[in-house]
Amino acid sequence: LAESGVPQLVQPMIWDYAADLDVEGKVQLIEKYRRCGFSKVWFASAFKGATGVNQSLTLIGHHLKNHLQWLKVASNSPADVLEGIALTGWQRYDHFSVLCELLPVAIPSVAVCLQALKNGGYSEKIKENVEKLLGMSNLETDTFMR
């Protein structure tokens, strides 16, 4: 792969939407890419649409945990390797599937995930900031929003 010249033309994107993604496994994968000549990688997470084909409500806690895991991967990787993170928001699992959760119900999730990435973690203060930004009195992350 290194001799092919491909690493000078593309940057790999590592996809994982799991709340308990394998941090050490991802760090090892990044090292493998670096040994093959790739100097930069991208991460891909999801703020909605990755927890069930017929999901209609967004479980924010799942997506928040995924982003916190990606932050751990980034902090355990060489500082110059991460080019960026793509926050995906899937609308359906394939062209023949019904729509899963729509964007309006996922706005709190994208706000939480973006704030967690921006601040390098999540805390009560960040939660209060998201509530203020969205005009919400009680942001629920571990249950479905009411």
Q: Where are the domains of the chain?
A: 2-134
The conformational region for residue 82 under phi > 0 = left, psi -120 to 50 = alpha, else beta, is: beta
What pLDDT does 46 receive? Answer: 96
What pLDDT does 40 receive? Answer: 97
* Distance in angstroms (rounded) separating the CA atoms of residues 107 and 132: 14
Percent of the chain with pLDDT over 70: 98
Beta-carbon contacts of 93 under 8 Å, excluding residues fewer than 6 positions away, are: 53, 100
Q: Are 42 and 86 in contact (CB under 8 A)?
A: yes
Q: Does pLDDT of 25 surpass 80?
A: yes
Percent of the chain with pLDDT over 90: 75
What pLDDT does 20 receive? Answer: 96
Half-sphere exposure of 135 (CA within 13 A, CB side): 0
Q: Which residues of 41-60 are buried (b: 16+ CB within 10 A; e: fewer)?
A: bebebbbbbbbeeebebbbb
Q: Which residue has the higher pLDDT, 101 or 63?
A: 63
What pLDDT does 145 receive? Answer: 54
What pLDDT does 144 receive? Answer: 65
Residue 124 sits at the vertex; the CA angle it makes with 109 and 121, to the nearest 5 degrees, is: 65
At 67-105, the pLDDT tens digits run: 999 999 999 999 999 999 999 999 888 888 888 888 999
At 39-48, the pLDDT tens digits run: 999 999 999 9
